[in-house]
Amino acid sequence: MDLIYTIAITLGTLGVLVAVHEYGHFWVARRCGVKVLRFSIGFGKSLCSWRDRHGTQYSIAAIPLGGYVKMLDEREGEVPAQELDQAFNRKPVLQRIAVVAAGPLANFALAIVAYWALFMGGESGYAPVIGSVETGSVADLAGLEEGQEIIAVDGEETPTWQALSFRLLDRIGDSGNIQFTVKYPGSDMVYQSEAPVERWLADQEEPDLFKGLGLRLYTPEIPPVVAEVVADSAGARAGLQPGDQVLRADGVAMPLWMDWVDYVRARPGQAITLEVLRDGGQKTLSITPERVTEADGEVVGRVGIAVQQPAMPDAMLREFQRGPLESLGAAVIRTGDLVGFTLSSIKKMLQGLISPKNLSGPITIAKVASASAKSGLESYIGFLALLSVSLGVLNLLPIPVLDGGHLLYYTVELVVGKPVPEKIQVLGYQVGLFMILGIMMLALYNDFARL
């Protein structure tokens, strides 16, 4: 059932994104007087189709990995003389630019609408209060202390954990200074400091942002109470159940969850005698952690259980209520920030400042889509908005076969006054197709490597 659910959510997500993208092309094409022959969601054999009064065929095809809008165009076949004025290639270059740009812009519009809806419903998160600072770390050099709340990074406000994470993500691979603005609880006094970084976390395939700064954000002490047991894991085979509290491992007391995590990680493949508290009584189990090789080559133990999270103090909760116009403004800003972040990440990846192993393909997208949908409607809408921005930005890259490649050709035509020679366009499409296939293969390889 989980597989069917994941597939359904993934296809639904891709269907929405593709439909919005192609509708952008379609809507502007119609407004520019271009005749649209076909609007298809998916490729290959048509599963169902219908026509409107303008003669446009709408189709849902068998391969749900994209879509397209087919317009009347002399480059793709003979056009009747009475319809030449409706051919895409006969339209002024500015209109052709508008039609091509409309797809990515529609994806940005979807993101704005999604964030507007989320912000209208209210936004909340927990304040990033420092729990501990590692000696000699970036945070230590900046003079950060336990108990301080990080209210801004590089002048950008960080009222929640999520906001802080986003600002730090934007600094991966950078050299220079990271600036922090902090305050103590109950005080209005703010303090500013900074610390130097050099290619910060550039060599990390799965960077831990807070560990990279050398700090841990405050959370209440977490006792080792099991919330979930992964099917067919070491924990499941040992008989652990949700609600069990780990008391001792090989006779060693386990007062906190991290005590248990550290103990397990240090014993891959070694049997552990476990004492747990279950329904008011003690029970003894034997568990053997699985051997797992991490990205840095270290072999650690894993048992496949999740911890029961304690409640955060109410004083750390940050809630934001916005009106319709304020929500719209915040949605535009959030979308713009994501566009900038995506472009910056692509640039850093090309410069070697971000590992290409962070590139994700359809398998990762499917997993995240499924997980976000299970987490609730708000989580899923946020993921949909993020994916829509990514799709819009990627399509605007100046790579032939993408919308950005077409925009590049039309921009040259606008400046020079004549179209790019057909031979150059064909060569560009071949190179672009090779690049896109290469990127897709790398993304798929990364997906399977994560599995």
Instruction: Calculate helix-pair angle for 2-31, 377-395, nearest 10 degrees.
Output: 50
The sign of the CA dihedral 355, 359, 365, 366 is negative
The sign of the CA dihedral 110, 112, 114, 116 is negative
Cα separation, 398 vs 346, whole angstroms: 13
CA angle 374, 380, 385 (to 5 degrees): 165
184 touches 148 (CB < 8 A): yes
Any idea which residues carry the catalytic annotation? 22
Cα separation, 79 vs 57, whole angstroms: 17
Cα separation, 345 vs 170, whole angstroms: 8
HSE value, Cβ hemisphere, 13 Å, CA-based, for 237:
12
For residue 58, the SS3 value is strand
CA–centroid distance for 305 within its chain? 25
Nearest-Å Rg of the Cα atoms of the chain is 27
Would you put residue 297 in left (φ > 0), alpha (ψ -120 to 50) or beta?
A: left
214 touches 239 (CB < 8 A): no
Cα separation, 404 vs 398, whole angstroms: 4
21 touches 105 (CB < 8 A): no
